[in-house]
Amino acid sequence: MPLATNPVRRFAALDDTDRTILAELAADGRMPNNALAERVGVAPSTCLTRTRALRECGAIRGFHADVDPAAVGLPLQALVSVRLTAHERAAVDAFRARSVRLPGVVSVFHVAGAEDYVLHVRAASADALRDFVLDYLAVDPAVQHTQTSLIFEQARGRG
107 pairs with which residues across the strands?
A: 120
What pLDDT, on the 0 to 100 scale, is given for residue 6? 55
| Count of CA atoms in the C-beta half-sphere (13 A) of 80 | 30
CA distance 6 to 11: 9
CA distance 10 to 146: 34
CA distance 71 to 50: 35
Mean pLDDT value of segment 11-24? 92
Tens digits of residue pLDDT in 54-92:
999 999 999 888 889 999 999 999 999 999 999 999 999
* Residue 117 buriedness (CB in 10 A; 0-12 / 13-18 / 19+): buried
Complete domains list, the chain, with CATH: 16-57 (1.10.10.10), 69-151 (3.30.70.920)
* 76 three-state secondary structure: strand
Q: Decide if pLDDT at 37 tops 50.
A: yes
For residue 51, count other CB atoms closer than 10 A to its CB.
20
CA distance 92 to 104: 20
150 pairs with which residues across the strands?
A: 78
pTM here is 0.79
Sign of torsion over alpha carbons 43, 23, 56, 65: negative
CA distance 136 to 121: 12
- Which amino acid, 108? V
Tens digits of residue pLDDT in 86-140:
999 999 999 999 999 999 999 999 999 999 999 999 999 999 999 999 999 999 9
